[in-house]
Structure 1
Amino acid sequence: MPSPAKRRPTLRHAHATPSALENLPPVALATVIARAGPRGAASLACASKTLHAAASSEKRWRRFCTDDIGIDAPVDPEGRVLPSFKIITICHKMLLLWLEEHLRKLQSGLVKVQISNFRRDARHISLYPETPPTCSTAVTHGIKVRASAVFVPEDSSVHGDPCKYVYYYFIRVSLPDACIVDGKCYSSSQFQSCSLIIRTGNDVFHDDTEYSGLLVKDAPDEFKYGNYILVSKLPATMEGSLIFIPLRHHQPDDNQFSVKIAPFPLQLPEYVF
Structure 2
Amino acid sequence: MRNGDDFSPAVIDRVAGLLDEFRDGSELTLSQLSCRTGLPRSSAHRLLSRLVESGWVSRNGQVYSLSRAMFEWGALAQRHDTLHRAARPVLHELHAASGLIVHLAVLDGSDVHYLDKVGRGPLVVPSRIGGRQPALRTALGKALIAHSGADPGRARPPGAPLPRAGDHARLRHEIAHIRRQHVAYERDEAVPGIACVAAPIGNGRTCVGAVSVTGPVAGVDPVALARPVRSAAHAIRQVLDDCGSPSRAGGSEHVGIVSQRALAPRRPQAYDR
Common fold by TM > 0.5: no
Structure whose alpha-carbon radius of gyration is higher: 1
- Using CA pairs below 8 Å that are at least 6 residues apart, which structure has the higher relative contact order? 2
Bigger helix fraction: 2
TM-score, normalised to structure 1, is 0.30
